[in-house]
Structures are given as C-alpha cells and as structure tokens.
Amino acid sequence: MTAHRLLYQSFPKKDGTFKHIPIRPLFPYKIIVVDEVSMLPKHMWELLLSHKIHVLALGDPGQLPPVAAEPHGVLDHPHIFLDEIMRQEEESEIIRLTMDIRAQKPLQLMRGNEVRIVDREEMLQPGFLAWADQILVGKNDTRFAINSFMRQVLMNTDDPHPLVGDRIICLKNNWECINETGDALVNGLSGKINSIKYTKDNPFMEVTPIVDFTPDYENAKSFLALEMDYKIFMEHEPTINKDNFKRIPKYYQPNQFDYAYAITCHKSQGSEYDKVIVLEEYLKGDSKEEHVRWLYTAATRAAKKLIIVRNYHK
C-alpha cells in the first residue's frame, strides 16, 4: 500500500478533478512501517505522525531527497544506523561499488562480472544501450535524445506517436484508476503499451491515444482503456504547433505518460531493475556531495548488473 492511499480518501469534484481528504482515524493500525521514507514529502510525514501511531521508518540517507518537496530530515539523526553488511551478498560488486561511491572514491575503469565502468566511447558498440532494462540519466535533454534513439533502434520509428510495444512511464498519480488486482496507477510506474487506438472525439485535443498499459512488475494486470495526455509526447517535437496546447482547459487531466527507455535518476527512486546503464551527468549547481548522492542513488537501482558510463556530461 502506498502512503497516499493509507492517509487520504479521494472524492470527485464537479470540474473532473479530485479532492484528497485525510482519513481519520487510521483504524485498526497499531504500527506502520514506512520503507524508502526519504521519498515521503514532509507534509505527509507530519500527517502520519499526527495519528499518534507507532512508526518504523526505514531508509537510506545516502539517496536523493524527493523532487520539489520539502525534506523532513527523518534520516538525519536515526535511532539505529546499519553500516555492516551481514548477508552473503556482501561480496557483490554492486554493493562494493556503492560503498565506494558513498565514500566519494573516484570511479575507476573496470570490467567485472556484475559491474562495468566505461568511458563514452564504449557506447559506440552495437546494442550497448539496448542491453539494459533501464537507462538512467541526469538531464532531461539527455533523456529526450536517448528515448528518441532507442525508439529508432527498437521500434524502427522516428514518429513521436506512441506505438504498441513502446515502453512508457506514468508521470502523475491517478488513485482512482485501478487495475484488476486493485493496484493504482501511480507516479513512476513503468511498463509497455499492449494496445493503442486514437480517437478524435476529444474536444480538447486533435487526437487522443487510448491505451492498455501493462506494468513491468511480476504478474501485473493491465490498466485498460487509459486516456493519455497526447501533448507530452509532442511537446519536444519542433514541427508541432505548441500554441494548440495553451487552449486546453486546466480541468482536463488525462493520464500523463512519457517514454521510459531512459528516465532520470530522480524518477527511478524507489524502483529496482535487473540490468541498469547509468550515464553519469553533472547537474548544474550541484555540489560534490549532491553529485555523490545522485550517483549513489542511480547505482543502487541495479539488482544484478550495472554499467556506468563515467563523465558522460560534465
């Protein structure tokens, strides 16, 4: 269960949007375990504490804070800090690398069984990017470029319109959209388009994609007949007239998706992938400590295999 679904009940409004009302009391819970607590916005953390229920907060202080959210600082002074690996996986190359990153050791070229650290020239190898389950980047410009390239390679198209088989990611929570198993359509959920049709019945858009979307996770059930925000796929195309977008009323809120062959490290938080490629990018204004957090967060998304292209953009 997500924290939002635990804490809020949603009610439809006349304008087509939803109002989220805090649930009180949180019966019958006596203790709540919050994983990845650094991803919880401050206002939701304070709402959770206001229920006077025991909370066990788990998290990694080395990871990035949530985007555009005021930090709550829960992990700044933990009651217990685990700093010794007690599992067989302590010899994992990925774990050793992430510990080195946290210690701010510079990345050295390497070719291990689990981890490879390479320079940009390695990307010229055929099929290099297609190997990954997920590509992580720092900048949106890089994300746009990689997604466009991957669609040319994997989908054999340079058409910006979504196609069956395209990998996409949800950009905004829709708690009222539930699949067969009761899962909600939440921000950061990635998967593939199973079917798609375009309708011109929508008065606010020239054309609207209606898709069946299947998430990546095991035994996932599809979300059916989702109306997608067409303009997100078009807004970076130089041939598209952006003036048409300005006439769309604010209350029109279709589901928001974008291509997910490459996503930003921030968007990947809370997720895990078997095979990950990280394009190391230095974000404008970031300190050395902030870059270490970024790189550490990206590297810890990999479950089995990791490739880091160091100094992709400085």
Note whether 272 and 183 are same-domain residues. Answer: no
- Let me know if residue 83 belongs to a domain: no
Place of tokens 């996409």: 168
Which helix or strand (DSSP H or E) is residue 276 part of? strand 273-281
pLDDT in tens, 289-303: 999 999 999 999 999
- Let me know if residue 227 belongs to a domain: yes
Q: Specify the pLDDT at position 191.
A: 96
Q: Specify the pLDDT at position 73.
A: 80
Spatial separation of the C-alpha atoms in residues 113 and 71, rounded to whole Å: 37
Q: Specify the pLDDT at position 111.
A: 95
Note whether 182 and 139 are same-domain residues. Answer: no
Q: Which residues of the chain have pLDDT under 70?
A: 14-18, 66-71, 86-90, 203-206, 236-252, 314
Note whether 32 and 164 are same-domain residues. Answer: no
Question: Maximum CA pair distance of the chain?
Answer: 59
Note whether 12 and 24 are same-domain residues. Answer: yes
Which ranges of the chain does DSSP label H, i.e. alpha helix? 3-7, 42-49, 93-102, 140-154, 230-234, 265-268, 288-299
- Let me know if residue 237 belongs to a domain: yes
Q: Which domain holds residue 247?
A: 157-259
* CA trace torsion 56, 60, 65, 71 (10° rounding): 40
Note whether 51 and 95 are same-domain residues. Answer: no
Note whether 58 and 20 are same-domain residues. Answer: yes
- Let me know if residue 81 belongs to a domain: no
- Let me know if residue 242 belongs to a domain: yes
Note whether 54 and 101 are same-domain residues. Answer: no
Model pTM score: 0.85
Q: Specify the pLDDT at position 23.
A: 86
- Let me know if residue 224 belongs to a domain: yes
Q: Specify the pLDDT at position 44.
A: 87
Note whether 250 and 305 are same-domain residues. Answer: no
